Amino acid sequence: MNIKHKITILVLAFLSNSYSQQNKIEFGAYNVGLGGFVGGIGALINNSKNEKPLKVFANGFLKGSIGGGFVHLSKLSIGEIAIKEKYEYSWLAKLNNSIGTSIIENASLNKKMFSKLHINIGFNRIELYPKEQFRVKYKIMPVSFLFTSYIALTNDFEFKKSIASGEFIFSSDNNKIFKNEYNGYTFGTSIVLNKNNINAKDTFSHEIIHVYQYYDYNFVNSFMHKPIKKLFSDSSFFSNDKLFYYDFQSPIINSLYLIEYQKEKYYDNFFEKEAGFYSNTLGDF
């Protein structure tokens, strides 16, 4: 039994245990299904070999589904931050999320499951290449960098909380933003907490899920891999993949969020409902 089959069995065993409640079924299926679907479609888009399309899609779907299982596991881990009252649990969740999103990204690029791994800390992306000669690369996510720069100019950076959690955390006492019982918001990969309730770890957990949702849409960049490479081929600066990982998913996920935002109730918004479920804050509104 090879490593791929072992991982498949472990993920499916975990998911079968976590499906005991309706919401776990709903969100587990969403994350596994999304990973599988985009893994399969991306593999077809980035297929450069003379392989049968059905085989390429099936292989990408299987690997993407496994990655989606790890993403689901990472989001379930986020709830432990508020339960255990420790920010450090976000590092465990980040590790699982990094494995899951890496697998999905590799699947959607039609590459081997562990050909490349990455971990994100704010706008910073660290890539690991375990195959053949081990390598480590540092890259900047430019869209996330711009978002973080804006947040940094208008809010206070929470250094200790950021180090403890592995996320970029800021704070603000802007009453125009924090009204109607809101205690935090997320902009790209940066989290802003209300100074008046800055230690509310359930709010922090909720906002981390929004960061993970940003990573859920990394597949947009995989789908655009060939066009981006062609677009910047004449620029020695922008074509340098040693420096940038282009996170162009922002307009897609923000547009979908705005559509969901039009719904009557706060938790009718799928993105908020998912964040509320995994952070145990569904009852807050």
Quickly state the pLDDT bin for 285 (edges 50, 70, 90).
Answer: low
Where does residue 271 rank: exposed (0-12), middle (13-18), buried (19+ CB within 10 A)? middle
For the whole prediction, is pTM greater than 0.75?
yes
Taking 60 as the threshold, does the pLDDT of residue 117 lie above it?
yes
What value does the mean pLDDT of the chain take?
86
pLDDT in the model for residue 18: 43
The 10s digit of each residue's pLDDT in 153-193 is 999 999 999 999 999 999 998 777 776 667 899 999 999 99
Q: Alpha-carbon distance 93 to 273, whole Å?
A: 19
Helices (H), 46-113: 53-84, 89-108
Taking 90 as the threshold, does the pLDDT of residue 126 lie above it?
yes
Q: 94: which 2 tokens?
A: 């980040």
The 10s digit of each residue's pLDDT in 211-233 is 999 999 999 988 887 767 666 66
Tell me if 108 sits within 8 A of 42, measured CB to CB. yes
Domain boundaries, the chain: 3-145+180-284
The 10s digit of each residue's pLDDT in 62-114 is 999 999 999 999 999 998 898 888 888 899 999 999 999 999 999 999 999 99
Q: Alpha-carbon distance 113 to 64, whole Å?
A: 9
The 10s digit of each residue's pLDDT in 234-275 is 555 555 566 889 888 999 999 999 999 898 888 889 999 999
